[in-house]
């Protein structure tokens, strides 16, 4: 039994799994292991209860339209707990569909409007017969770091007043191709259109996420010092 353990919830991990988003958990597990922390992954899917108390990290990935519609129908059952988790500084990473679904609503390619859980205030419009596809580079204005990823999305997301983008676009389209922002940060919740996956390609961001998780769960330990011993990976 490991002394320190991270319980990671992979929300609808068996349905929203199109672009290797699980790699984010692989990256966290890899870095955590280096400082003696175990990461245990749990799929929380249709029929399963989501109890915010059980988890230290939540990953919500992207999926195909069909699966995303089924997930959107189930999500209200988990909405209250998920919203409480985010408000309580719970570390969260939503990618693509998972990023859209925690917002107010999104509009599918065919014009269908699908309600999100409204945990956060952003919303997503469609773009007729077009997609943003390609490599993306952004700059995180808070720490000056550059992040690399690959975007592939039809939705155009607009942030609310209380949300800030994860980074400013250097190359690529980002949230909507208009305002120069990519992703979102609200408390310890992160949203992004980056596949790649983001935490595998951007070691510094993975270590930052790891620290958020561990500081919240085990505040008595000096995690910053331990994490400083890890060499992050980039590609």
> Whole-number minimum distance, CB 38 to another protein, in Å?
14
Q: Please check whether residue 95 is in contact with residue 193, taking contact to mean a CB–CB distance below 8 angstroms.
A: yes
> Whole-number minimum distance, CB 89 to another protein, in Å?
26
Question: From the list 51, 54, 65, 141, which residue makes contact with another protein (rule: CB under 8 A)?
Answer: 65
What are the residue ranges of helices labelled H in 88-202? 97-101, 198-201
* Residues ≥6 apart with Cβ < 8 Å to 70: 15, 46
Q: Please check whether residue 59 is in contact with residue 11, taking contact to mean a CB–CB distance below 8 angstroms.
A: yes
Q: Does 46 bind another protein (CB under 8 A)?
A: yes
Tell me which residues in 184-223 interact with another protein (CB under 8 A).
195-197, 200-201
What are the residue ranges of helices labelled H in 49-123? 65-74, 76-87, 97-101
Q: Please check whether residue 28 is in contact with residue 210, taking contact to mean a CB–CB distance below 8 angstroms.
A: yes
| Alpha carbon distance 71, 76 (integer Å) | 9
- Contact range with another protein by CB under 8 A, out of 66-74, 75-83, 115-123, 169-177: 66-74
Decide if 195 is catalytic.
yes
Question: From the list 50, 55, 147, 150, which residue makes contact with another protein (rule: CB under 8 A)?
Answer: 150
Active-site option among 96, 122, 148, 153:
96
Q: Which is nearer to another protein, 23 or 174 (CB)?
A: 23
Q: Does 94 bind another protein (CB under 8 A)?
A: no
Query: Going edge to edge, which strands form the sheet with 57-60?
Result: 37-44, 4-11, 57-60, 92-95, 189-192, 184-186
Q: Which is nearer to another protein, 14 or 89 (CB)?
A: 14
- Cα of first residue to Cα of last residue in the chain, in angstroms, is 33
Q: Was 164 annotated as part of a binding site? A: no
Question: From the list 6, 8, 10, 212, which residue makes contact with another protein (rule: CB under 8 A)?
Answer: 10
Tell me which residues in 96-135 interact with another protein (CB under 8 A).
131, 133-134
Q: Which two tokens stand for residue 178?
A: 């208009």
Q: Which residues contact another protein by CB under 8 A?
A: 10, 13-15, 17-23, 26-27, 29-30, 41, 43, 45-47, 64-67, 70, 131, 133-134, 150, 152, 154, 195-197, 200-201, 233, 235
């Amino acid at each position: 039994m490991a002394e320190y353990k991270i319980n990671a919830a992979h929300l609808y991990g068996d349905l929203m799994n199109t672009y290797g988003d699980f790699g984010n958990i692989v990256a966290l597990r890899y870095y955590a292991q280096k400082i003696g922390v175990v990461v245990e992954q749990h799929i929380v899917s249709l029929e399963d209860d989501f109890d915010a108390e059980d988890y230290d990290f939540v990953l919500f990935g992207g999926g195909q339209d069909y699966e995303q519609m089924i997930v959107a129908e189930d999500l209200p059952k988990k909405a209250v707990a998920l919203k409480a988790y985010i408000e309580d500084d719970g570390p969260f990473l939503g990618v693509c569909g998972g990023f859209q679904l925690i917002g107010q609503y999104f509009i599918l390619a065919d014009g269908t409007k699908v309600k999100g859980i409204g945990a956060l205030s952003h919303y997503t419009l469609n773009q007729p017969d077009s997609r943003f596809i390609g490599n993306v580079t952004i700059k995180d204005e808070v720490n000056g770091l550059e992040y690399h990823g690959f975007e592939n999305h039809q939705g155009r997301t607009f942030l609310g007043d209380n949300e800030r983008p994860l980074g400013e676009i250097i190359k690529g389209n980002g949230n909507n191709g208009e305002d120069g922002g990519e992703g979102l940060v609200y408390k310890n919740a992160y949203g992004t259109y980056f596949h790649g996956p983001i935490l595998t390609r951007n070691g510094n961001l993975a270590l930052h996420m790891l620290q958020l998780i561990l500081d919240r769960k085990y505040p008595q330990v000096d995690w910053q010092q331990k994490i400083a011993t890890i060499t992050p990976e980039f590609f």
